[in-house]
Amino acid sequence: MVERSDRAPLLDWEEIPSAEKPGGTVPVAAQVKDRLASPSNNRTSPGCSAQGWSSGPGGPTSSRSVPDGCSAPPATSSTSAGNDEALHADNEEHLSDSGSTEESLDDRMVKWEEKDQIVSVFVVAFNTRSGNMLEWCLPKDMDLEGVEFKAIASGSHRVTTDFIYFRKGSYFGLACFANMPVESVVERGARMKSVGILSPSYTLLYRYMSFLEHQVRLQLQTPGHYSPLEAFYEDKRAILPPSGDGVVSACPDNAWGAAINHSMHPEMKITHPAGCMSQFIRFFGEQIMVLWKLALLRRRILIFSPPPVGVVCYRVYCCCCLANISIPGIGVAVPEFRPFFYVNVADISSLENELSYVACTTEKIFEEKKDLYDVYVDNQNVKTYRDGLKPLLRLSTADREKYRKLTEQRQMLLYSQEENGDCVSSEEDLFILFFLEQNNRIFQTLSEVAASPDPTLTHESVRAMGLDPHGDRLFLLHLLEIYGYDTLLVSEQLCCS
């Protein structure tokens, strides 16, 4: 949430202090500890009126930072501003009493999270003669080649407003687009621009959505007025680490070393009024179970949709959340499930080298590039050209049963909210926790069987995972291969249906 500031005319993007917000966020370190300590009860919501994804910077692995992918767990824990202040006071008192200059893990993570990490701000415009062009940026020496085609998606001339998440090298970007009618022959009756930012992490970009939306309208109405953007960058720009290698980390690597599991994804905050995951699952229906399996198998998933792009970027994020695992050590050796968000033809060379990703595009030509993806999603149609994956597109009996349970849980939640005024639980929490628990259940069972005297998967152990011994046999074989369960044997009774 943003509001205008009384203190500086140019800083109209400043955030409301935590004491003024309806609910502040728990320090990131505390969130991580809570999630790892109790994965089955790791999400609470500020309230029924809270819209969206809560932020929490996470690292993709124990030794990599957010720019390399998505890996920290979803969490929307909240606490009062008073508790936050008390925590800071306790930390300061502890450091003072001990006389030690060393900071605890909690202190380092909290202080780092509070810092803004904006590495660039820019304006992109559509020129009737030269097409998309970078109009202005800070810093001036920032490599923004190609950002003009990410900030204004192909086909954007058909929509009035949009927002776009994307990747640029090791950074993530958010741009807000607007299309304004003008009485100008040179501009062919329309003026189109985007204002965007780059950051090492996508989890905090939502903070500046309102600011970017306001600034793009300002750029359309009074082109060339960059003062608010200059002030924003000066106040929010990232501080390069002492190593001087030019790479900004969203959180120091050593701070996350023992806290973050490889297969968890950092949570974004969403501005979609009806919620992200709930919209995602209602859109795909039972097909969500197919996407769940493909995400868990770390397949390359490309989602096609015409503009607007914003809601499709949310589907990219939701696909990542389907593959969350909170059991330490699971998934360390598998390809990282990387969110690329919006991609265009300029990203083809990058995608060629990716083993696992999920992205979206508005360019239909990608469908012909069958070597770039394993799964192509067109509207609600999930398809693949890979013979080995085609059987996975069929729903098993267990898939339908899981979807039925998910639907029932959602109906019970909605009833509780309506009848009892339950403002603690949310659909977002329910959906993400549902798949997290399902994934944990699978890998917990696999680990137990692998450690047993007879490491053989039977009908009973497969059912214990919540899978269909017949319909999910191929999925299970893929899973064993990808996650390195080489010592497990599969009972001959588990034959294909």
pLDDT tens digits along 265-323:
666 655 443 467 778 988 999 999 999 999 999 999 999 999 999 999 999 999 998 99
Per-range mean pLDDT, top range of 39-53, 192-206, 476-490: 192-206
Question: Does the pLDDT of residue 258 top 50, yes or no?
Answer: no
Compute the distance between CA of residue 25 and CA of residue 56 in angstroms, rounded to an integer.
Answer: 9
Tell me what pLDDT residue 326 has.
93
pLDDT tens digits along 37-75:
333 333 333 333 333 333 333 333 333 333 333 333 333
Which two structure tokens, joined as six digits, stand for 172? Answer: 């993530």
Tell me what pLDDT residue 335 has.
87
Question: Does the pLDDT of residue 473 top 60, yes or no?
Answer: yes
Q: Pick the range with the lowest mean pLDDT from 18-32, 181-195, 302-316, 331-345.
A: 18-32
Confidence of residue 159 (pLDDT cuts 50, 70, 90): very high
Q: How far is CA 406 from CA 363, 433, 442, 460, in A?
A: 33, 11, 17, 23
Residues 6+ apart with CB under 8 A from 266: 55, 56, 57, 58, 66, 70, 71, 72, 73, 201, 202, 203
Tell me what pLDDT residue 344 has.
95
pTM metric for this prediction: 0.73
Tell me what pLDDT residue 494 has.
57
CB 324 within 8 Å of CB 74: yes
pLDDT tens digits along 369-393:
999 999 999 989 999 999 999 999 9
Compute the distance between CA of residue 177 and CA of residue 309 in angstroms, rounded to an integer.
Answer: 10
- Torsion over CA of 303, 320, 174 and 77, rounded to 10 degrees? 150
User: Would the CA dihedral through 334, 281, 441, 51 be positive or negative?
Assistant: positive
pLDDT tens digits along 308-355:
999 999 999 999 989 999 999 898 889 888 899 999 999 999 999 999
Which two structure tokens, joined as six digits, stand for 289? Answer: 């179970």
Rounded to the nearest 5°, which phi and psi values hold at 2?
Answer: -130, 160
Helix axes 397-420, 427-450, angle to 10 degrees: 140
**349 vs 76, residue with greater confidence:** 349
CA angle 365, 371, 375 (to 5 degrees): 80
pLDDT tens digits along 121-153:
999 999 888 899 999 999 999 999 999 999 999
Compute the distance between CA of residue 414 and CA of residue 429 in angstroms, rounded to an integer.
Answer: 13
Confidence of residue 429 (pLDDT cuts 50, 70, 90): confident
Which two structure tokens, joined as six digits, stand for 95? Answer: 């450091």
DSSP result, 210-249:
HHHHHHHHHHHHSTT--HHHHHHHHHHBPPPPTT-SS---
CB 301 within 8 Å of CB 33: no
Q: Pick the range with the lowest mean pLDDT from 12-26, 206-220, 454-468.
A: 12-26
Residue 178's beta-bridge partner residues? 161, 193
| Chain CA centroid to CA 488, Å | 33
Question: Does the pLDDT of residue 210 top 80, yes or no?
Answer: yes
CB 360 within 8 Å of CB 312: yes
Compute the distance between CA of residue 444 and CA of residue 298 in angstroms, rounded to an integer.
Answer: 19
Query: Rounded mean pLDDT of 163-169?
Result: 95
Question: Does the pLDDT of residue 89 top 90, yes or no?
Answer: no
